[in-house]
Chains A and B, each alone.
Chain A
Amino acid sequence: MGRENLLGRTAITARQAGFVLCQKCRLLCDQTTVLTNHHCPRCGARLRQRKFESLARTWALLITSLILLFPANLLPIMTVTYLGEKEPNTILQGVEYFIQSGTYVIAFLIFFASIIVPVFKVAGIMLVLLSIQRKWKGWLRHKTLMFRMIRFIGRWSMLDIFVIALMVAIVEFGTLNSIHAAPAATYFAGVVVFTMLAANTFDTRLIWEETDQ
């Protein structure tokens, strides 16, 4: 029934065809195996039609990163010690500093990478999750595209942390001038990690499930 609705005659889903993909070794198994054995005949992994508890886990991880987003942005992310004077800076203060010093490009880069992207990721995943649960059927292709983007950006989001790590290592002149990571760095890394995990635990096939049937 689903194929007539959306895919037409040219395509069916594996589930519609009675197959289950082993998520570990990618072996396409017959549904009968699933029902009798529950395990992949090749690698022995447990067979599931969809990722286990995908929605709930994604939600949990997403909420975790959403919570961590606040301390990551409100607390100082690094402390610059200049002539013995410690000056803690939040991400926004850093952006402000670069705007004031006239280097708008760097200011924009930091703002984009450290504030826009994490927020966008969390908001994007949340939108996808909501649209599944609420059965919103519009813009499904765009949502998929967006989700793919989120997964792609994910690995680059740690850039900030790398920059801080690099600066801590490079700028180290004792009390004269040194940089230390501040608490927000941890929370920021937490945001990045948990959004990546959330993107990973999410089963993209769920987006289409409603419309397929």
Chain B
Amino acid sequence: MTDDLISGSNIDEPEIKSRRGISPVWILPLVALIIAGWLIYKSVVDAGIPVVITFATAQGIEKGKTRVMFRGTPVGLVEDLVINEDFKGVDVRVKFVKSAQRLLTQGTRFWMVEPRISAEGITGLETILRGNYIAMRPGEGKETRQFTALSEPPPMTSTEPGLQIQLTASNQGSLTTGSMVYFRGIEVGRIERCALGKNNDVVIDVFIKKEHAPLLRKNSRFYTVSGITLEGGLSGFKIQTEALSALLKGGVAFFTPKDVPKGQNARNGDTFRLFESKDAALQEGSMITLVCEDGMGISGQTLIKYRGLEIGRVTGVSLDRDMIHVVIRASIQRKFQSLMRDGTEFWLVKPKLGLAQTKNLETLITGTYLTLKPGTGKPKDTFTVMAKAPETIEVRTGLQITLEAERLGSIKPNDPVYYRQIKVGKVTRCRLSENATSVLVNVDIESRYAPLVRSDSKFWMASGINMRFGLFSGAEVKTESLEALLEGGIAFATPSQHSETEAYSSNIKGRGVELNESVTEKRPSPKSPQASSPSGRPARKGDKFVLHDKPEDAWLKWRPIIMLAK
């Protein structure tokens, strides 16, 4: 610092103070450092999670633009697109926000959301303006960074509370994603996906809304309700449609059978069978095999009835391997399964038209059906179909008695038994006695009318026409009812005490239609025409009576007081 130009100056050497200390200016870089440090820290904390999602095609995915959305919130951004090494897909590199870390597990599914117009509506409309996006559905499992995208949206709603179940069907039919699930006509869920299953059957993912989930039981049955059901029969026509939307989109419905002990609530992942129709669903039950000599017009729609009620349905008819027998597959509703036992006999009910008998006329229209007589043996599932109904099909709990006649006449099983022209029972079986000297006719008297039969009762064949000619009395024709005339039958009468007979002035009350019968007739016993209690003891089960060819006149006039059973 010495300055030799200013010579002669009397200035003292300046006192040099060294000033040590940090300039406050250094606060500035410090602040900058703090800001930068904070930014770095934030970027580290918020640093995205790099994830690779493999797509079959990257159509509509844009680098730096396409987002991954979760519940409408962007959680990731596509950073780069790289074609696979084997050219079989596109690796989409996505950076996820840190908070999405726990969503990235093995079960997580990704798929593209594109605008889509279909029967169930227009979806993904927002993508038209904002571009396609990748949707995700978090799943379970370990965290991972490698995913393979689905080619189509998965069942959408595992996040929505409700029940996820599966149906298996043989055919997708008109069901599509978005088809509804109905319960008594009310929408309770929807179909989310239809796909081919492992066994080439159609697996349908179904979602049931939470509030309706308790309706679904383990034993519930699903059936397709697409379109219109038309049913016709003697009783009239029935047209059934589900909601209009079901008509358009198809749908499934379910019901829960009541018969079984209340089933448990269905749980997520349960699998149900989808039946083609409600009938088929109702029919659902065990399969049985019937073998017969002749197809006899049995088809896939032939019903199996028991006492007039439908209990099952034939599902298929085919020949056996030897081409000798016809094999019929039929399904029996579960609640009637107990009828399928050793000893159960099946036969086909066909219309029968004839002078003597017209039967089963309804089968002309409703078709023939199979019926059965249940056996009592062990359960089994293979039966032989008999050519005709077995002789005895009655298991009724009436009074069973046996009549003995010299010959059968026109009596045959099911012929009526009359008491004062009222049908009170029927013939159940006709057979030869063991030593072939007579014919035994088994008769079943309805329990209500059982007291009418007493040990002294007389039985006679009511079939045919009785004609008598007399010079003075003119011609006399006696018949039972017209039905008895055509079909034949058995009539009986029970005498009053003291074996007396009574005459009546009115032929309405008399036994049988008496044409030209004289009003005044001789009475075997001069007693007032007052009814009295019947004679003999009450008939017991298995009692034997003689079956006369024709009644004696007196029998027709018996009129004991007998209280009918209730």
Question: Contact flags (1/0) for A150-189 with B, using CB distance below 8 Å?
Answer: 0000000000000000000000000000000000000100
The answer to the question of A71 belonging to the interface, with a C-beta cut-off of 8 Å to chain B, is: yes
The answer to the question of A11 belonging to the interface, with a C-beta cut-off of 8 Å to chain B, is: no
Q: Looking at the complex, which one of B3, B11, B12, B130 makes contact with A83 (CB distance below 8 Å)?
A: B130
**Known: A31-B11, A32-B11, A83-B129. Contact between A67 and B36, CB under 8 A?**
yes
Question: Contact flags (1/0) for A37-74 with B, using CB distance below 8 Å?
Answer: 00000000000000001001100110111011011000
Q: Which residue of B lies closest to A60 (CB)?
A: B25
**Known: A71-B36, A84-B130. Contact between A15 and B3, CB under 8 A?**
yes
**Known: A31-B6, A67-B36, A71-B36. Contact between A84 and B129, CB under 8 A?**
yes
Q: Looking at the complex, which one of B12, B14, B25 makes contact with A56 (CB distance below 8 Å)?
A: B25
The answer to whether B28 touches A61 (Cβ under 8 A) is yes
Min CB distance, A48 to chain B, in Å? 12
The answer to the question of B32 belonging to the interface, with a C-beta cut-off of 8 Å to chain A, is: yes
The answer to the question of A145 belonging to the interface, with a C-beta cut-off of 8 Å to chain B, is: no
Which of B14, B28, B31, B35 has the most CB atoms of chain A within a 10 A radius of its CB?
B28
Contacts of B33 in A (CB 8 A): 67
The answer to whether B130 touches A85 (Cβ under 8 A) is yes
Question: Contact flags (1/0) for A1-28 with B, using CB distance below 8 Å?
Answer: 0000000000010011110000000000
The answer to the question of B5 belonging to the interface, with a C-beta cut-off of 8 Å to chain A, is: yes
- Report how many residues on chain B are interfacial, defined by Cβ distance under 8 Å: 22
Name A's interface SS.
helix
State the CA gap A67–B26 with chains docked (Å): 13
**Known: A35-B11, A53-B25, A83-B129. Contact between A63 and B3, CB under 8 A?**
no
The answer to whether B6 touches A18 (Cβ under 8 A) is yes
State the CA gap A71–B42 with chains docked (Å): 12
Contacts of A83 in B (CB 8 A): 129-130
The answer to the question of B9 belonging to the interface, with a C-beta cut-off of 8 Å to chain A, is: yes
Name B's interface SS.
helix
Contacts of A31 in B (CB 8 A): 3, 6, 11
State the CA gap A190–B36 with chains docked (Å): 12
State the CA gap A11–B118 with chains docked (Å): 92
Min CB distance, B61 to chain A, in Å? 15
State the CA gap A151–B266 with chains docked (Å): 80
Q: Looking at the complex, which one of A18, A32, A60, A187 makes contact with B28 (CB distance below 8 Å)?
A: A60
Contacts of A147 in B (CB 8 A): none
Q: Which residue of A lies closest to B39 (CB)?
A: A71
State the CA gap A15–B23 with chains docked (Å): 25
Contacts of A190 in B (CB 8 A): 32
The answer to the question of B233 belonging to the interface, with a C-beta cut-off of 8 Å to chain A, is: no
Contacts of B32 in A (CB 8 A): 63-65, 67-68, 190, 194
Min CB distance, A167 to chain B, in Å? 21
The answer to the question of B470 belonging to the interface, with a C-beta cut-off of 8 Å to chain A, is: no
The answer to whether A67 touches B23 (Cβ under 8 A) is no
**Known: A53-B25, A60-B25, A85-B130. Contact between A35 and B6, CB under 8 A?**
no
**Known: A16-B3, A32-B11, A57-B23. Contact between A64 and B29, CB under 8 A?**
yes
Kindly identify, within residues 1 to 34 of chain B, every residue whose CB is under 8 Å from any CB belonging to chain A.
Answer: 3, 5-6, 9, 11-12, 14, 23, 25-26, 28-29, 31-33
State the CA gap A194–B11 with chains docked (Å): 40
**How many A-B contacts at CB < 8 Å in the complex?**
66
Contacts of A70 in B (CB 8 A): 36
Contacts of A67 in B (CB 8 A): 29, 32-33, 35-36
**Known: A64-B32, A83-B130. Contact between A12 and B5, CB under 8 A?**
yes
The answer to whether B23 touches A56 (Cβ under 8 A) is yes
Contacts of A18 in B (CB 8 A): 3, 5-6, 9
The answer to whether A53 touches B28 (Cβ under 8 A) is no
The answer to whether B130 touches A64 (Cβ under 8 A) is no
Question: Contact flags (1/0) for A93-136 with B, using CB distance below 8 Å?
Answer: 00000000000000000000000000000000000000000000
State the CA gap A121–B26 with chains docked (Å): 20
The answer to whether B28 touches A35 (Cβ under 8 A) is no
Contacts of A68 in B (CB 8 A): 32, 35-36
Which of B6, B12, B33 has the most CB atoms of chain A within a 10 A radius of its CB?
B6
State the CA gap A62–B438 with chains docked (Å): 136
Min CB distance, B4 to chain A, in Å? 9
Which of B5, B23, B29 has the most CB atoms of chain A within a 10 A radius of its CB?
B29
Min CB distance, B437 to chain A, in Å? 107
Min CB distance, B161 to chain A, in Å? 31
Q: Which residue of B lies closest to A68 (CB)?
A: B32
Question: Contact flags (1/0) for B300-323 with A, using CB distance below 8 Å?
Answer: 000000000000000000000000
Contacts of B28 in A (CB 8 A): 60-61, 64, 194
Contacts of B6 in A (CB 8 A): 17-18, 31
Min CB distance, B482 to chain A, in Å? 90
Contacts of A194 in B (CB 8 A): 28, 32
Contacts of B12 in A (CB 8 A): 35
Q: Which residue of B lies closest to A71 (CB)?
A: B39
Q: Which residue of A lies closest to B43 (CB)?
A: A74
Contacts of A64 in B (CB 8 A): 28-29, 31-32
**Known: A56-B23, A68-B36. Contact between A63 and B29, CB under 8 A?**
yes
State the CA gap A43–B65 with chains docked (Å): 62
Contacts of A16 in B (CB 8 A): 3, 5
State the CA gap A84–B130 with chains docked (Å): 8
State the CA gap A64–B5 with chains docked (Å): 41
Q: Looking at the complex, which one of B3, B9, B25, B131 makes contact with A61 (CB distance below 8 Å)?
A: B25
State the CA gap A61–B29 with chains docked (Å): 7
Contacts of B36 in A (CB 8 A): 67-68, 70-71
State the CA gap A68–B35 with chains docked (Å): 9
Which of A17, A57, A60, A70 has the most CB atoms of chain B within a 10 A radius of its CB?
A60
The answer to whether A53 touches B5 (Cβ under 8 A) is no
Q: Looking at the complex, which one of A32, A35, A53, A87 makes contact with B23 (CB distance below 8 Å)?
A: A53
Min CB distance, B514 to chain A, in Å? 103
State the CA gap A36–B23 with chains docked (Å): 25
Question: Contact flags (1/0) for B93-135 with A, using CB distance below 8 Å?
Answer: 0000000000000000000000000000000000001110000
Kindly identify, within residues 128 to 157 of chain B, every residue whose CB is under 8 Å from any CB belonging to chain A.
Answer: 129-131
Contacts of A187 in B (CB 8 A): 35
The answer to whether A60 touches B35 (Cβ under 8 A) is no
Top 9 nearest A-B pairs (CB, nearest first) are A18-B6, A67-B32, A63-B29, A60-B25, A64-B29, A64-B32, A64-B28, A57-B25, A60-B26
20 chain-A/chain-B pairs, Cβ below 8 angstroms: A17-B5, A18-B6, A31-B11, A35-B11, A35-B14, A57-B23, A60-B25, A60-B26, A61-B25, A63-B29, A65-B32, A67-B33, A68-B32, A68-B36, A71-B36, A84-B129, A85-B131, A87-B65, A194-B28, A194-B32
7 other A-B residue contacts (CB within 8 Å) besides A16-B5, A67-B35: A17-B3, A56-B23, A57-B25, A60-B29, A64-B31, A71-B39, A87-B65
